Structure 1
Amino acid sequence: MLELTALAPPTLPALPPQDRRPHAVVIGSGFGGLAAAIRLGARGYRVTVLERLDAPGGRARTHRQDGFTFDAGPTIVTAPFLLEELWSLCGRRMAEDIDLRPLDPFYRIRFDDGATFTYSGDPAAMRAQVAAFNPADLPGYARFMALSAETCRIGFEQLGHVPFGHWTDMAKVAPGLMRLQAWRSVYRAAAAHFRDERLRTVFSFHPLLIGGNPFATSGIYALISHLEQRWGVHWAMGGTGSLVRGLVRLIEGQGGRLRCGAEVAEITLAGRRATGLRLADGETIPADIVVSNADAAWTYGKLLPGLPRRRWTDAKLARARYSMGLFVWYFGTRRRYDAVGHHTILLGPRYRGLLRDIFTGRQLPSDCSLYLHRPTATDPSMAPPGCDAFYVLSPVPHLGDGTDWAEQTEPYRRMIARRLHETLLPGFEAEIAASRVTTPRHFREDLLAVHGAGFGLEPVLTQSAWFRPHNRSEEVERLYLVGAGTHPGAGIPGVISSAKVLDSVVPHASALA
């Protein structure tokens, strides 16, 4: 007789426990959004990052074409300790994932007459460069660098990650800003120390790297000279895109999630409190907090429909001053140009007049000054063997000037090509193997930048610190802002510092659980 035994039911894999951590949703995956996601993950949140494009990075996304790699946006890495902090929050070392190389020199500034200033982190070499232009300016150089160091100590090290949520925050720092004469423009700060007009240009052009006019941007941004000298200028091997990929891996390692192709149409509200997001396809995503890395003017002007805004009204956004637009031509060549350095500032015949046309005249100039980036000077992996990758950027007016870029793109590109041919790259057009162009129209359509402005709000004194859109929204509870359009401003150090501010204004997840 057979003995029957009961069969045990098959063992099924256990369902993953539901993640009950409070949910933070981040709009946009630029450096500010990715840094915010990491900091929120470290503070106990379950994080979802939403990116409307098909790849992360925002302005720092990567273009790959015909074997060439082109970083779309930022190419200069300064204050790398801010990036290292993000890896530390995840229990890792940045050096395990990123090969960051210091550059020497930082860049070369070529004047229209061919004179070149080699800008480096070597104090003796810098003094020699100043003396070569005007020995009488050496004492002024020492005084300017002392001013830059003190300004950096106050404006960046002390205040860069401090929220300016109340006017009293501004009142506390006003004496220091007055002592530093922050109401002066960066150009005026330089002009007070240098007699040589070319040296005034060398030590005042930096605001252009963050969307500002050196003749109008607050002298507080004179801090950049010391910031570069103290922490150096670096290149991430594999391009800035390698930093983006590294940050995404950190987020995923925390249990966070990145969704590309997810366009946010609206921040949902209960009264004046953010409750989540509605996507363009109708999907709703509930959230305990919302962080916007989108353009600040876009966030207030487009993502809060129907909300009566008290500070950032449509009228105020219309009156605000926006940074310049950017015309960027990416091209690869079949041969190398080893005489060209990694970073070159190629100045045109005008400086003040050109910037007046761009920032206040609102007209497309017939001449240009250029930033030429040749990453293959340091990193051959950015191009096929024996080739060079280039990125040439020209400041132009934002779309408020009415330029029709559908008509002007090719004529303007040809003008830039002539300038490069006449100066650093004779005959280069015959060697081009890959080419693509970005205009302010692309910034408006792809990145939703108001007026196609490359850096959001212009960093003038009346749009800085407390006067800038706050990191904790003044309009909506549990809505926070990071990125170039909020405090402290544009540039990789600025946008990463904006995410660091969240540690001071966002409650720990345990307080919401």
Structure 2
Amino acid sequence: MNNNKPHIVVIGAGLGGLSAAISLASEGFSVDLLEKNDKVGGKLNVLVKDGFTFDLGPSILTMPHIFRRLFERVGKNMDDYVSIQTVEPHWRNFFEDGSTLDLSSDPVVMKQELDKLGADTVRQFDKFLAYSKRLCEVTENGYFAHGLDSFWELLKHYGPVKSLQEFDVFRSMDQGVRRFIKDPKLVDVLNYFIKYVGSSPYDAPALMNLLPYIQFGYGLWYIKGGMYGMAEGLQKLAVELGVNIHVNAEVVEIQHEGGRASGVRLADDRVLAADIVVSNMEVIPAYKNLLQGQEGEIRRLEKFAPSCSGLVLHLGVDTIYPQLAHHNFFYSDHPREHFKAIFHDHRLSEDPTIYLVAPCKSDPSQAPRGCEIIKILPHIPHLDPDKPLSADDYATMRERVLIKLERMGLTDLRKHIVCEESWTPVDIQAKYYSNQGSIYGVVADRFKNLGFKNAQRSKVLKNLYFVGGSVNPGGGMPMVTLSGQLVRDKILADLAK
């Protein structure tokens, strides 16, 4: 290791922080990785309770090549650290009229499913997927590859004509879908790919229609033994590279002088000196909690509003529901009203779309014999001090969701619950210091921020950088992991100046 290289402190050991620490250590930097909780992983968390193993955070792995790069860059094989398997079908969609639609990586199965919706639906879907692929490829070749951090950088890289044409900037995600798709059920399914970034398809830019191709092009995966295995694999790699990982080590202040960070102070008043600081804490909470007097910068960043949150119910049930796939969606009959409630009215939806994960379909070992896990996630508003929601409000929402699932086929679900763990936005904010309890970082809204997130370079301190869901390229497991690799590139570029 080159001890003349700057010493780097990374705040927060979520996937963004782990990726940054690994990426920087692979370049010979000495790195201290500080995590306030008792284990690494951030929102990629796990709980073992009453014989059930609950993945508390992300449930879907896409774009595994982004994770593989961390290992390959140092001559390692990810398969020696993390075992992944494909999930089939990708997910099952349930509608109020009793019909279902599977999304599948198998073209024959996919055609059979789409034929349920009409003779022309396959052709429409193929045209949509070609459009989704174009959006994905142009994004990967510039925005992802070069870590572009603003619309102006986008214009500079692609040129104004290509930027306007290739990114479909004048349409919303929903409008982009409806260019190709006529069947309302398939519109709802494709719109709900927005779940990956916790936003509304009616507000998000059409660029978000790259998300279906990311899933169909790169596959949908599960980590054998549970999703937390990715955090464990990255932790092992980080330690092998010499990263000093400190858990139960909460940072309460970024110290600075002369416009540069000089170190961090921990809750126990220890101070770690740093030449460079990388924060996996979201940008706005970091400015509010770790730096003083940043009200002007916080106001400047208000356009990067928080994504939605969720009411997360982890249920252990003493029965098996054979109609479920690994991933399932139970759709609202009133999708516009559902998204309006969350993103504009900041209230709980009367008729929510519900994401339900049944991981025992791929991994029966996650529950006792004869039992399975039902993880339920309806999107709900982030914390809003002007429209506070009470514990009773969340309890009412829980009941509304369970009744809907029972009505749509999960008979006597409430009677079969033998183990339960629930999280509200209050819990999410307390555990992860996320901005107003958001799950996915910054909302993608074409009018607020054109779908962009915060920049990775701080405008306050020259040697402060950010990773995670609140910065470009955004939320979700692959994107926050990519942010850690991109911050390495920015730091190397800045040091070379």
Aligned to 2:191, what secondary structure does the other structure show?
Answer: coil
- Consecutive unaligned residues of structure 2, counting only runs of 5 or more, are none
The worse-fitting range, judged by mean Cα deviation, of 408-417 and 438-447 is: 408-417
Residue 511 of structure 1: how far off its partner (Å): 6.7
Matched, 1:424 2:409: yes
- Asked whether the 8 Å contact 1:82–1:497 carries over to 2, the reply is yes
Residue 29 of structure 1: how far off its partner (Å): 1.2
Q: 1:203 aligns with which of 190, 195, 202?
A: 190
Aligned to 1:104, what secondary structure does the other structure show?
Answer: coil
Q: When the two structures are superposed, what TM-score results if normalisation uses the length of structure 2?
A: 0.94
Distance in 2 (alpha carbons) for counterparts of 1:408 and 1:148: 38
The 1:294/1:428 distance shift into structure 2, 3 A limit, reads same
Aligned to 1:356, what secondary structure does the other structure show?
Answer: helix
- Asked whether the 8 Å contact 1:163–1:470 carries over to 2, the reply is no
Aligned match of 1:405: 390
Aligned to 1:276, what secondary structure does the other structure show?
Answer: strand
Matches within 5 A, 1:356-435: 356-400=340-384, 402-435=387-420
Residue 302 of structure 1: how far off its partner (Å): 2.4
Aligned match of 2:19: 35
Distance in 2 (alpha carbons) for counterparts of 1:142 and 1:167: 30
Aligned to 1:389, what secondary structure does the other structure show?
Answer: strand
Distance in 1 (alpha carbons) for counterparts of 2:210 and 2:319: 38
- Asked whether the 8 Å contact 1:343–1:372 carries over to 2, the reply is yes
Matches within 5 A, 1:276-291: 276-291=263-278
- Asked whether the 8 Å contact 1:465–1:487 carries over to 2, the reply is no
Cα offsets for 1:83-110 (capped at 9, x unmatched) = 1111112322111122200011100111
Residue 149 of structure 1: how far off its partner (Å): 0.6
Residue 338 of structure 1: how far off its partner (Å): 3.0
Residue 346 of structure 1: how far off its partner (Å): 0.7
Residue 157 of structure 1: how far off its partner (Å): 4.2
Matched, 1:301 2:285: no
RMSD: 2.2
Distance in 2 (alpha carbons) for counterparts of 1:413 and 1:489: 29
Matched, 1:106 2:106: no
Matched, 1:501 2:486: yes
Q: 1:234 aligns with which of 221, 234, 242?
A: 221
Q: 2:313 aligns with which of 323, 329, 332?
A: 329
Q: 1:144 aligns with which of 128, 136, 140?
A: 128
Aligned match of 2:163: 177
Q: How many residues align?
A: 493
The 1:466/1:477 distance shift into structure 2, 3 A limit, reads farther
- Asked whether the 8 Å contact 2:442–2:475 carries over to 1, the reply is no
Distance in 2 (alpha carbons) for counterparts of 1:116 and 1:89: 43
Residue 166 of structure 1: how far off its partner (Å): 6.5
Q: When the two structures are superposed, what TM-score results if normalisation uses the length of structure 1?
A: 0.91
- Asked whether the 8 Å contact 1:344–1:372 carries over to 2, the reply is yes
Residue 468 of structure 1: how far off its partner (Å): 2.7
Cα offsets for 1:248-278 (capped at 9, x unmatched) = 0111001112111111111111221111111
The worse-fitting range, judged by mean Cα deviation, of 233-242 and 122-131 is: 122-131
Identity value in percent: 28
Matched, 1:270 2:254: no
Give the letter aligned to residue 358 of structure 2: R
Aligned match of 2:427: 442
- Asked whether the 8 Å contact 2:13–2:34 carries over to 1, the reply is yes
Residue 162 of structure 1: how far off its partner (Å): 1.8
Q: 2:241 aligns with which of 254, 257, 273?
A: 254
Cα offsets for 1:132-176 (capped at 9, x unmatched) = 212233332222111101100011343214223566422133433
Aligned to 1:60, what secondary structure does the other structure show?
Answer: coil
Aligned match of 1:244: 231
Which entry has the higher C-alpha Rg, 1 or 2? 1
Aligned match of 1:344: 328
Residue 73 of structure 1: how far off its partner (Å): 1.2
Distance in 2 (alpha carbons) for counterparts of 1:427 and 1:306: 54
- Asked whether the 8 Å contact 2:444–2:451 carries over to 1, the reply is no
Aligned to 1:217, what secondary structure does the other structure show?
Answer: coil
Cα offsets for 1:391-440 (capped at 9, x unmatched) = 10010111116233322232221222212222232112222221011011
Give the letter aligned to residue 196 of structure 1: D
Aligned to 2:116, what secondary structure does the other structure show?
Answer: helix
Residue 464 of structure 1: how far off its partner (Å): 5.5
Aligned match of 1:455: 440
Q: 2:472 aligns with which of 478, 484, 487?
A: 487
Aligned match of 1:4: none
The 1:467/1:340 distance shift into structure 2, 3 A limit, reads closer
